[in-house]
C-alpha cells in the first residue's frame, strides 16, 4: 500500500464513528461556561500555548472554539481585533463579559459552529483552535482554519484520544474506545501540502483538584456520560480507598503550528 492512497479524512471519520461518542451539543457546553470562565484565563497551559506563538506583525486573531476567551483574551491588548467563534452562546457571553472586565473594546463574538458556512468569517492574521477540535470532519475543519489564516495557524489536539485516565475507566467498568488523536491531523496536513511544526503541552488530568466525591463524580460523568448505580458504587469505593490527589495521568496536547506562505 502507498501512503498517497490513504484517505486520512475518511479514516478519521471512521475512527470517530467507531469510538461511538455522543457529540457534546452547544447546550452541554453552555452548562459549563461559567465554571470554565472562572478557571480558564490564567493557567500554565495558556502560558505555554501563547509562548509558542509568533505575534510579530499580527493585528487580528480568530479564536475558534474560543470558550470564555482562553487564548484570545490574554492576547487582545497586543492586537487590533480579536474574534471569538463558538457554537455555545453562553461561552460567548463569558468571552464578552471577561473582555469588558478587562477593559477591552476590540473583542467580538461570532456565534457559529465548525460545521456552519464560514463565508462571513473574516480572514485574520492568526487563527487559533485550542482544545476545540473534536469535530465530525477533521479534513473540512483544517481547510477552514487554513483558509481563514493570513499568517499562522496554532492548534492543540489531544494525544492518545482519551480525556479520562484509563485506570478510572477500569474502576467504573467501561470500555471506552479512544477518539482519533493528533496523528490524523499531521497526516491530513501533509496531504494538504502543509508541513507543520509539532510540540507537546502537558496539563493536569481532568480529575485533578476535585474537592470531594460529588465533584469527582461530576467530572467522570462529563467524560463518560451518566453512571448507573453499580458504576457509581464502584467509583465511590475506589475514591474512598485511593489517597488524594486522585488526579490520574496528565493530559498531553499536541501543539500543531504552520505558517501561510507570504503572497
Ligand atoms: C474544551 S473547550 C476549549 C475552550 C478554549 N479554546 C480553551 O482552550 O480553553 C471547547 C470549546 O469548543 C466549543 N465547541 C465544541 N464543539 C463546537 C462546534 N462544533 N462548533 C463550535 N464550537 C464548538 C465549545 O463550546 C467550547 O467552548
Say which CATH number the domain at 154 has. Answer: 3.40.50.150
Tens digits of residue pLDDT in 159-181 = 999 888 888 888 998 888 899 99
* Nearest ligand 1 atom to alpha carbon 67: 27
pLDDT score, position 39: 85
DSSP, collapsed to helix, strand or coil, labels residue 127 as strand
Q: Give the number of the atom of ligand 1 that is nearest the alpha carbon of residue 40.
A: 9
On whether residue 230 sits in a domain, the answer given is yes
How much is the pLDDT for 247? 73
Q: Are residues 14 and 142 in the same domain?
A: yes
Q: Whose CA is nearest to atom 13 of ligand 1?
A: 65
Centroid of ligand 1 to alpha carbon of 222 (angstroms): 14
The more confidently predicted of residues 221 and 46 is 46
Residue 26 domain boundaries: 3-164+175-205+250-259
Grid coordinates given for 249: 495521568
CA of 221 to the centre of ligand 1 (A): 18
How confident is residue 263, by pLDDT bands cut at 50, 70 and 90?
A: low
- Pocket test of ligand 1: the residue of 47, 63, 64, 67 to mutate, having most ligand atoms within 8 Å of its CB, is 67
Ligand 1 geometric centre to CA of 204 (Å):
19
Question: What mean pLDDT do residues 221-232 have?
Answer: 89
CB 50 within 8 A of CB 78: no
The residues that bridge with 158 in the sheet, in sequence order, are: 253
Q: Is residue 170 part of a domain?
A: no
- Predicted local distance difference test score (pLDDT) of residue 206: 78
Total structural domains within the chain: 2
Residue nearest to atom 11 of ligand 1 (CA): 65
Distance 232 CA to ligand 1 centre (A): 28
Say yes or no: 242 and 116 in one domain. Answer: no
Among residues of the chain, what percentage have pLDDT more than 90? Answer: 73
Q: Which of 87, 93, 164 to mutate to test the pocket of ligand 1 (most atoms within 8 A of CB)?
A: 87
* Amino acid 159: pLDDT: 96
Best probe residue, ligand 1, of 47, 82, 86, 163 (max atoms within 8 Å of C-beta): 86
- Taking only the tens place, the pLDDT of each residue in 26-71 is 999 999 999 999 888 889 999 999 999 999 999 999 999 999 999 9
Considering the domain architecture, whether residues 70 and 50 belong to the same structural domain is answered as: yes
Residue 169 lies in a domain: no
Q: Is residue 109 part of a domain?
A: yes
Whether residues 23 and 149 fall in one domain: yes
Same domain flag for 89 and 147: yes
Residues 84 and 195 in one domain: yes
Q: Is 215 among the domain residues?
A: yes
Average pLDDT, the chain: 93
71 in any annotated domain: yes
Same structural domain, 194 and 103: yes
What count of other Cβ atoms lies within 10 Å of the Cβ of residue 153? 23
What span, in angstroms and rounded, lies between the C-alpha atoms of 162 and 191? 25
- pLDDT for position 225: 84
139 and 112 housed in the same domain: yes
One domain, residues 128 and 226: no
> Residue 74's CB: how many other CB atoms inside 10 A?
17
Tell me what pLDDT residue 131 has: 97
Q: What mean pLDDT do residues 190-212 have?
A: 90
Look up the pTM and report it.
Answer: 0.92
Residue 200, pLDDT score? 98
**101 class by beta-carbon count within 10 Å (0-12 exposed, 13-18 middle, 19+ buried):** exposed
For residues 220-224, give the mean pLDDT.
85
Strands 149-158 and 81-86: unpaired
For the chain, the residue count is: 263
Same domain, 146 and 20: yes
Same-domain status, 198 and 137:
yes
- Position 159 in a domain: yes
Task: Note the pLDDT of residue 40.
Answer: 84
- Tell whether 196 and 132 lie within a shared domain: yes
Residue nearest to atom 12 of ligand 1 (CA): 65
Amino acid at each position: 500500500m502507498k501512503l498517497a492512497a490513504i484517505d486520512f479524512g475518511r479514516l478519521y471519520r471512521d475512527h470517530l464513528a467507531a469510538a461511538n461518542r455522543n457529540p457534546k451539543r452547544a447546550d452541554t457546553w453552555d452548562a459549563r461556561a461559567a465554571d470554565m470562565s472562572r478557571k480558564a484565563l490564567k493557567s500554565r497551559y495558556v502560558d505555554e500555548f501563547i509562548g509558542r506563538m509568533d505575534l510579530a506583525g499580527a493585528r487580528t486573531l480568530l479564536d475558534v472554539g474560543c470558550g470564555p476567551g482562553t487564548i484570545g483574551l490574554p492576547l487582545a491588548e497586543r492586537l487590533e481585533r480579536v474574534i471569538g467563534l463558538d457554537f455555545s452562546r453562553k461561552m460567548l457571553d463569558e468571552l464578552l463579559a471577561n473582555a469588558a472586565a478587562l477593559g477591552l473594546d476590540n473583542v467580538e463574538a461570532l456565534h457559529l459552529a465548525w460545521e456552519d458556512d464560514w463565508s462571513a468569517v473574516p480572514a485574520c492574521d492568526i487563527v487559533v483552535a485550542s482544545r476545540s477540535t473534536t469535530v465530525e470532519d477533521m479534513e473540512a475543519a483544517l481547510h477552514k482554519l487554513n483558509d481563514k489564516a493570513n499568517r499562522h495557524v496554532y492548534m492543540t489536539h489531544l494525544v492518545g484520544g482519551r480525556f479520562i485516565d484509563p485506570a478510572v475507566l477500569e474502576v467504573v467498568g467501561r470500555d471506552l474506545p479512544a477518539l482519533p488523536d493528533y496523528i490524523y491531523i499531521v497526516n491530513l496536513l501533509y496531504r494538504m501540502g502543509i508541513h507543520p511544526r509539532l510540540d507537546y503541552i502537558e496539563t493536569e488530568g481532568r480529575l485533578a483538584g476535585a474537592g470531594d466525591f460529588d465533584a469527582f463524580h461530576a467530572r467522570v460523568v462529563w467524560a463518560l456520560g451518566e453512571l448507573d448505580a453499580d458504576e457509581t458504587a464502584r467509583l465511590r469505593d475506589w475514591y474512598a480507598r485511593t489517597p488524594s490527589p486522585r488526579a490520574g495521568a496528565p493530559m498531553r496536547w499536541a501543539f500543531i503550528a504552520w505558517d501561510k506562505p507570504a503572497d
